[in-house]
Amino acid sequence: MIASGCRGLSARLFRALRSLPAFQTLLAYATLGALLLPAPTQAASIDIGASTLQAQVEKAFPKVKQALTLSDPLLSLEGATEVVVLCGRWEFSPKPPVAITDRPIPGRFCAESRLQWNPQPGTVSLAAVRMRSLALGDGPPLPAPVLKIVNAILPEHLEGVVVYTAPKFIGWAIKNLRPLDGRLQVEF
């Protein structure tokens, strides 16, 4: 019954529109389209503060791989470049001790990264990690040629570090992530 009523209405509407001049017909179609089509919706988003992300990153440290230990992570978000910066301490403990020293060799590091959304586990992790700086002890950063060599080795230790785990009830709806100054914007 409802379908036949709609069909009759659309036939009457079509006849009425055919009797109008061309401009009025176009205007009528545009008005009907605006009324009948759903309006575009603006994407919803939430901001996740740096302290929440910092707490999640701290759970992944210290990271130990063979003789290298990464610890004391400090996460920051740079909105202008939309990158995540992770700085911390590193320590190289050669086994057996090498002729140079029998104590661990400490230093500082800073790496920049993009974020990657992993829908299956519902996590946001570091991806495309690149070392920004590396220093021995509290000394100045190592020169660029040394940093280039380190960039071939060290980033794999930081790839995949989880910076956020989404609640299961919203994880499926995440469409985009944007690092802003001091927070992560999650768009749905």
Query: What are the tens digits of pLDDT across the range 58-84?
Result: 999 999 988 889 999 999 988 877 889
What's the pLDDT at 31?
53
Lay out the sheet containing 105-118: strands in order across.
63-65, 68-78, 83-92, 105-118, 123-136, 162-165
Alpha-carbon gap, residue 152 to 141, rounded angstroms: 17
What's the pLDDT at 5?
46
Among 89-103, 116-130, 137-151, the minimum mean pLDDT is found in 89-103
Contacts of 28 (CB under 8 A, 6+ apart): 17, 20
Q: What is the pTM of this model?
A: 0.69
Alpha-carbon gap, residue 20 to 104, rounded angstroms: 88
Cβ atoms of residues 106 and 79 within 8 Å = no
Quote the DSSP letter at residue 181: T
What's the pLDDT at 24?
52
What confidence tier does 35 reach under pLDDT thresholds 50, 70, 90?
A: very low
What's the gap between Cα 4 and its chain centre?
Answer: 51
How is domain 45-187 classified at the architecture level of CATH? Super Roll (3.15)
Alpha-carbon gap, residue 87 to 70, rounded angstroms: 10
What's the pLDDT at 18?
60
Give yes or no for residue 10 having a pLDDT over 70: no
| Domain spans, the chain | 2-36, 45-187
Cβ atoms of residues 184 and 77 within 8 Å = yes
